[in-house]
Structures are given as structure tokens and as C-alpha cells.
């Protein structure tokens, strides 16, 4: 799973506890730099496949994420996202699913090639395992929605989940942007500037989001449930993803 010779980076799966702890240290830097301890970990880590993005020259870890495989929507209650959203509508999804989580990049290493490597690895994994829906929680930094009003207005207007799959509220503190923004219009350029890169990637694949954001004080984020049906990804986008993946 190494990257091309022209790339600064290589992607590989974690090979044991040492690699997983390295990912947890990076997550601590990205998500909770002021918290005590040096590892960001939870009960889902042992259940997931972990992916590491490293600099080829130095071996420095610059990005990571994890994937949890589910046989169908009947197992959706076992996902990380199920702690925060009522995912009952998705329990009827019949095909294999994968939850993409804890995606992060080393602070200061904002090279778009890192994200491209991540999506190449996701594409290979999805193709190899026959996943039919990819989902996760896409996070905005901080818990104040005000800086992201344009982003939330864009999500409300153009990227709301289909009613058959739309998650309900399952967390005690949420920002109901589908209702709370009233008739506010969005500035599309500002919306994209303040939107997390991972979420932008989901949206260009035809992804959709919940109608509310969860206020997650522990992670100091606002996050939206995000899903994309693999069969609904535009053919041009699929070709680009598979080209990146070397498929």
C-alpha cells in the first residue's frame, strides 16, 4: 500500500499496538492538545482497522484514520456515531457499511496530498470489501456554530440526508441548523472556506448530512453525521478515486 515514488507520503495499515498508539498520540495533538495524557483513545479502537499516512523520507506520521466494518445497517447501533445520533432509519440498509472515523492530520502539515492518500486508501478498502455505504462524523473545530453559519446554511440547502436515511437526534446538546438558521442565505465561497476538508470530500461524492450538529464538549467539536452511498457516487468521481488508488 505504499505511495508512488513521486509522492512524499506512503499509506499503510497499522501492524500492532505500537502503530495504534502512534495514531492515538497524533489524535491527541489534533483533537485535544490541552488535555491531560498523551493518547486519545476509546473503546472502538480495538474493533477498527487503523490507517497511517507517513512521510516516505523520515517515517514521520502526518495523518491517520480508522474504519469500522459492519455487515449491514442491522449493526449500525454498534458504531461510534450511534452514541450521538438516532440511526434507526439506517438500520434497514441491507448492504455492507463502513464507518470512517478519527481522521486527522498533524497540525501544521496541511498538504492536500495527505487527504488524497487517505481517500485512495479508503477507495481500495471499499472496493476490496464490497462496502455499499460509507459514513462517519464530520467535525468542525470548536463548539460555537457562529463561525460556520455559511457552511451550515449550505448543508441545509443542498446536502440534507434523504428522508429514508435521515438520522434523528440522539445527543443532549445539538445545533439544529436546519431550523436554527431561519431563512439565512449562504455565501458559497465562505461556506467552503470554513468547511472541514474531509466533509468537502464527502459532498463532492454526493454525500449528505444530518439536519443538526452535535455539540461534543469532550472533543471540542461540532459534528454532523455524514453518509455517502457508494452506488450514488458520480462516475467521473469514481474514476478519479480509483485512479488515485491505483485501481
Mean pLDDT value across residues 190-205: 95
Count how many domains the chain has: 1
Please check whether residue 32 lies inside any domain of the structure.
no
Q: What is the pLDDT of residue 186?
A: 87
Please check whether residue 108 lies inside any domain of the structure.
yes
Residue 5 has pLDDT above 60, yes or no: no
Q: What is the pLDDT of residue 182?
A: 73
- Rounded CA gap, 247 and 242, in Å? 5
Residue 2 has pLDDT above 80, yes or no: no
Please check whether residue 40 lies inside any domain of the structure.
no
Indicate yes or no: pTM above 0.85.
Answer: yes
Please check whether residue 139 lies inside any domain of the structure.
yes
3-state secondary structure (DSSP) of residue 148: helix
DSSP state, residue 90: G
Q: How far apart are the first and last CA of the chain?
A: 12
H or E element that contains 119: helix 112-129
| Residue-number span of the structural domain to which 212 is assigned | 65-245
Q: What is the pLDDT of residue 218?
A: 87
Residue 166 has pLDDT above 80, yes or no: yes
Q: What is the pLDDT of residue 3?
A: 39
Summarize pLDDT for 63-86 with one digit per residue, the tens: 999 999 999 999 999 999 999 999
Place of cell 495533538: 29
CATH classification at residue 122: 3.40.630
Amino acid at each position: 500500500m505504499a505511495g508512488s515514488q513521486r509522492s512524499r507520503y506512503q499509506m499503510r495499515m497499522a501492524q500492532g499496538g505500537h502503530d495504534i498508539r502512534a495514531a492515538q498520540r497524533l489524535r491527541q495533538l489534533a483533537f485535544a492538545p490541552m488535555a491531560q495524557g498523551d493518547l486519545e483513545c476509546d473503546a472502538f479502537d480495538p474493533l477498527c482497522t487503523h490507517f497511517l499516512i507517513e512521510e516516505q523520507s523520515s517515517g514521520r506520521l502526518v495523518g491517520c484514520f480508522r474504519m469500522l466494518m459492519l455487515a449491514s445497517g442491522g449493526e449500525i447501533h454498534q458504531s461510534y456515531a450511534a452514541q450521538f445520533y438516532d440511526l434507526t432509519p439506517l438500520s434497514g440498509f441491507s448492504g455492507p457499511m463502513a464507518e470512517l472515523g478519527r481522521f486527522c492530520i498533524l497540525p501544521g502539515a496541511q498538504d492536500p496530498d495527505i487527504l488524497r492518500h487517505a481517500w485512495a486508501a479508503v477507495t481500495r478498502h471499499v472496493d476490496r470489501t464490497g462496502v455499499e455505504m460509507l459514513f462517519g462524523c464530520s467535525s468542525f473545530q470548536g463548539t460555537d456554530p457562529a463561525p460556520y453559519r455559511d457552511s451550515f446554511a449550505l448543508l441545509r440547502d443542498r446536502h440534507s440526508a434523504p428522508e429514508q436515511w435521515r438520522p434523528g437526534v440522539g445527543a443532549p446538546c445539538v445545533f439544529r441548523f436546519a431550523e436554527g438558521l431561519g431563512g439565512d442565505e449562504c455565501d458559497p465561497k465562505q461556506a467552503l472556506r470554513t468547511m472541514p476538508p474531509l466533509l468537502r470530500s464527502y459532498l463532492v461524492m454526493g454525500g449528505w448530512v444530518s439536519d443538526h450538529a452535535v455539540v461534543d464538549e469532550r472533543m471540542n467539536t461540532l459534528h454532523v453525521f455524514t453518509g455517502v452511498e457508494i452506488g450514488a457516487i458520480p462516475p467521473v468521481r469514481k474514476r478519479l478515486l480509483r485512479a488515485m488508488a491505483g485501481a
